[in-house]
Amino acid sequence: MKKPIVVSGLKPTGKLHLGNYLGAIKQYIDFQKDPKIDNFFFIADYHALTQKYNASEKYDEIIEMIADMLSLGIDPEKATLYIQSDILEIANVSWLLGNVISAGQLQNMIEFREKVEQGQPASCGLLNYPILMAADILAFKASFVPVGEDQRQHVELARDAARNFNKRFGETFPVPQGIYVKGLRIKSLDDPSKKMSKSLPKGCLYLSDTPETLRKKVRSAVTDSGTEIVYDPENKPALANLLTIYSEFSNRPIKDIEKDHKNSSYAVFKDALADVLIDELSDFQERKAGIIKDKENLRKIFSEGSDKARAIAAGTLKEMKQKTGLF
């Protein structure tokens, strides 16, 4: 029996932060532990081109993200790792899928409208981003797609693309199922109403931050009224965010952390959280420093992964071409 396939990717756009790790990479690590699943994790470099960027820095960002993934625990022996643009078949799959998706669906995508409202150019790349994402998924006939809640609409479009193609050209794709990370939308340290983001650097904890920077950012994080350290997302959203981070990095239940700090001040609690982060991220940074030195090995790992991914995508593309009547 064929293994279910999991597909997910990360955009190489600047440095990774805690939200990226807890909302995506930590789930990748959990998936790769299951031998009954075939995992495909990729660097979404084509997707990263839909916003303004410095071309001279993009290659280094890709290398950094490759090193980040490996340093955090993504294992090339347990998952297929590849770079999106290496798999040329995905762009061809995207074109064929574009013919079973309406322009209206693309124009109504929430993320597209939000980014345009924020001043991002309404390029064809940004508009067609969801079709390329559908191709990322369907080229491998994925069963499951682990993504953040903000990507739900994109996954639904991929599901529509699969159903529409099957209806028009015959059964070809399984309809993929989104797996949405619950409760781990890490918030900005200086504004718990917004998710942690590179666009809010003061409230963003980067995996590459020095111990001094981590402690400074945690100490300056906003807190809620009152002095009791309890998990209450509705009434104490800032504290709930800090407790979530503490729990995830210490691998301890929030209830236990609350007990430990029953009589602590916010300052003592924050310093304890900073200690946990510094300890965990120092280990990651040390591993990364060793891994990124050997760029030839990084290229080798992803080249081998791309070879495997390309073979599968090529098989899907061939089937699609046959069913759509192409030569």
pLDDT, position 1:
65
Residue 181 is assigned to a structural domain of this protein = no
Residue 255 annotated as catalytic: no
Q: What pTM, to 2 d.p., does this model score?
A: 0.89
Question: Would you state the pLDDT for residue 182?
Answer: 63
For residue 180, is it within any domain? Answer: no
Same domain, 141 and 232: no
Catalytic residue, from 26, 198, 321, 323: name it. Answer: 198
Let me know whether 115 and 30 are in one domain.
yes
Q: Is 182 within the bounds of a domain? A: no
Which residue is catalytic, options 26, 58, 115, 323? 115
**195 tagged catalytic:** yes
pLDDT, position 195: 86
Would residue 198 show up in a list of annotated catalytic residues for this protein? yes
CA angle (114 as vertex; 112, 118 as ends), nearest 5: 115
pLDDT value at residue 292: 93
Q: Which of 58, 68, 38 has the alpha carbon at shortest distance from 281?
A: 68
Same domain, 233 and 311: no
Task: Give residue 148's pLDDT.
Answer: 80
Q: Report the distance separating Cα 38 and Cα 260, nearest Å.
A: 40
Sign of CA dihedral 243, 245, 249, 253: positive
What CATH number does the domain containing 136 carry? 3.40.50.620
Contact predicate 127/112, CB 8 Å: yes
Same domain for 168 and 247? no
pLDDT one digit per residue (tens) for the chain, 327 residues: 688 999 999 999 888 999 889 888 988 999 999 999 999 999 999 999 998 889 999 999 999 999 999 999 999 999 999 999 999 999 999 999 999 999 999 999 988 998 888 888 889 999 999 999 999 999 999 999 998 888 899 999 999 999 999 999 999 999 999 998 765 678 999 999 988 888 778 899 999 999 999 999 999 999 998 889 999 999 999 999 999 999 999 999 999 999 999 999 999 999 999 999 999 999 999 999 999 999 899 999 999 999 999 999 999 999 999 999 998
What was the pLDDT predicted at 283? 92
Question: Which one from 195, 217, 270, 288 is the annotated catalytic residue?
Answer: 195
**169 shares a domain with 64:** yes
Task: Name the 3-class secondary structure at 39.
Answer: strand
Residues in the chain: 327
CA–CA separation, 29 and 61 (whole Å): 21
> Are 32 and 106 in a shared domain?
yes
Q: What is the largest CA-CA distance in the chain?
A: 73
One domain for residues 130 and 233: no
Q: How many domains does the chain have?
A: 2
Phi, psi of 43, rounded to the nearest 5 degrees? -90, 115
